Amino acid sequence: MYKGKLFALILMLAHLICNAQHKGNYNQITQDISRQNILTAGNAQIYNPTVQKQIHNVLQPSNILTVDVKALQNVKAANYTAIFNVTQIGATAEETNALMNVKIDSIKLRLKQSGISEKNLAVDVISFIPVYEVEVTKKLFSKTYTEVPKGFELQQNIHIKFTETSQFESILEACAKSEVYNLVKVDYFIEDIQNVYKNLQDQLLVLIKDKKAYYSALGFELSNYNTAIADDKYCYFPKDFYQSYQAYNSISFDVFNKTKGITAAKKQTSYYYQPLTYEQYDVVINPSILEPVVQIGMHIKLVLTPKPKEKLPETVTETKIDHKYYVISPNGTIDVKELNTKK
């Protein structure tokens, strides 16, 4: 019976370990864990009661109509440029330059073997300066400090263009074997961005037309509304969306050794790509992505307010009074006179 219980316990632990393998190292404080996938999962039940209360907004009826639409397109880069920084020192200017050329030529040769031609590589000279040290000269009653040339330092950036992300591994290997390790950044480039914006615009115009038809079906005569508009477009590159994290838990097995204290494990800072999420967008083109992409978006907002009612001109009735006076003579005759009211 004891063996049976032990076996069952081992199975339970193995099940927990297998389930945990899918979670990964990314952890935050419990209340900060993102539930965006649950919120956008259609009919899936929402388990967070705090979030559940927030997703239902209280509607406020109004005679002001708003058409607010957003579109996003994920675009794979047509080509990339990796930039590496190279620093070389030498006793003389000639020696420094010669050592730098050896590194550059070595990288070019290895890249050529990987299928990246020399025309896809460019060298940008950053600085070439002498390096000084202080020489101390002792005299009888004083010391003199003099700067004297010690050597030279040359810095260059190597720009390497490639078209597939699978080539980047070969580029890293070529640079590492040539003792170049400082990767500055990787730039993404896309072609015909105007065509992407035109595509997004066409998608949004269809949505706006449908939304106006919806308001018309509800009984709103849109010709009786004034329209105000605001629009925006933007383009984000992967470098703008890398975030860092550290493993939340750490375990030290030194606690089992009675002769040693507990040693805290060092938590390494890691980075992950977190692109724009889709819950705020009406249209997402190419939503499923495997690698970092360029995200291009467009936002159009219309506000329709009722036109003021036209005021009819007021009818002014002018009353004209003829002023007259009567003069009666002593003999009884009456004479009618006009009263002159003009000044």
List, for residues 280-303, the tens digit of each pLDDT value: 999 999 999 888 999 999 999 999
pLDDT range class, residue 136, cuts 50, 70, 90: low
Helix (H/G/I), strand (E/B), else coil: 274: coil
- Beta strands 182-189 and 269-273, pairing class: unpaired
Distance between CA atoms of residues 235 and 189, nearest Å: 11
Would you give the end-to-end CA distance of the chain in angstroms? 129
- Of 297, 247, 302, 236, give the one whose Cα is nearest residue 270: 247
- Between 26 and 329, the more confident residue is 329
Identify the pLDDT of residue 47.
43
Nearest to 56 by CA among 46, 44, 64: 46
Q: How confident is the model at residue 325 (pLDDT cuts 50, 70, 90)?
A: low
CA distance 8 to 2: 10
Instruction: Look at 30 and 281; give whichever has higher pLDDT.
Output: 281
Cα 54 to Cα 110: distance, rounded to the nearest angstrom: 57
For residues 187 and 131, the model is more confident at 187
- Return d(Cα 10, Cα 7) in angstroms, integer: 5
What are the residues whose beta carbons fall under 8 Å from the beta carbon of 8, sequence distance 6 or more?
none
Distance CA(109)–CA(106), nearest Å, equals: 5
Which pair of structure tokens corresponds to residue 322? 């003829």
Instruction: Give the whole-angstrom CA distance, residue 200 versus residue 212.
Output: 19
Q: Is pLDDT at 23 greater than 50 in this prediction?
A: no
pLDDT at 61: 87
Q: Report whether pLDDT(42) > 50.
A: no
- The full set of domain ranges for the chain reads 62-77+191-313, 79-189
Q: What is the pLDDT of residues 48-71, one digit of tens each?
A: 444 455 556 788 888 899 999 999
At 212-226, the pLDDT tens digits run 999 999 999 998 999
Going by C-beta distance under 8 Å and a sequence separation of 6 or more, which residues neighbour residue 257?
A: none
Rounded distance between C-alpha atoms, residue 297 and residue 72, angstroms: 4
Task: Quickly state the pLDDT bin for 106 (edges 50, 70, 90).
Answer: very high
Among 3.30.70.2970, 3.40.50.620, 3.30.1950.10, 3.40.630.30, name the CATH number for the domain at 79-189: 3.30.70.2970
The token pair that represents 47 in the structure block? 């388990």
More confident residue, 172 or 142: 172
99 vs 57: CA distance, rounded Å: 67
Residue 183 has pLDDT above 80, yes or no: yes
**Whole-angstrom Cα distance, residue 226 to residue 304?**
5
What is the rounded CA–CA span in Å between residue 106 and residue 101? 8
More confident residue, 130 or 254: 130
d(Cα 157, Cα 124) in Å, to the nearest integer? 5
Amino acid at 61: P
The whole-number average pLDDT for the span 41-51 is: 42
**Contact residues for 322 (Cβ-Cβ < 8 A; gap 6+):** 338
| Arithmetic mean of pLDDT, 258-279 | 75
pLDDT at 22: 41
The whole-number pLDDT of residue 81 equals 93
| Reported confidence tier of residue 161, pLDDT bands at 50, 70, 90 | very high
Residues 6+ apart with CB under 8 A from 3: none
Average pLDDT, stretch 26-45? 39
Check if the beta carbon of residue 175 is closer than 8 Å to that of residue 67. no
Q: Are 143 and 135 in contact (CB under 8 A)?
A: no
Query: What is the residue whose two structure tokens read 């400082």?
Result: 182
- Model confidence at 242: pLDDT above 60: yes
Residue 8 has pLDDT above 60, yes or no: no
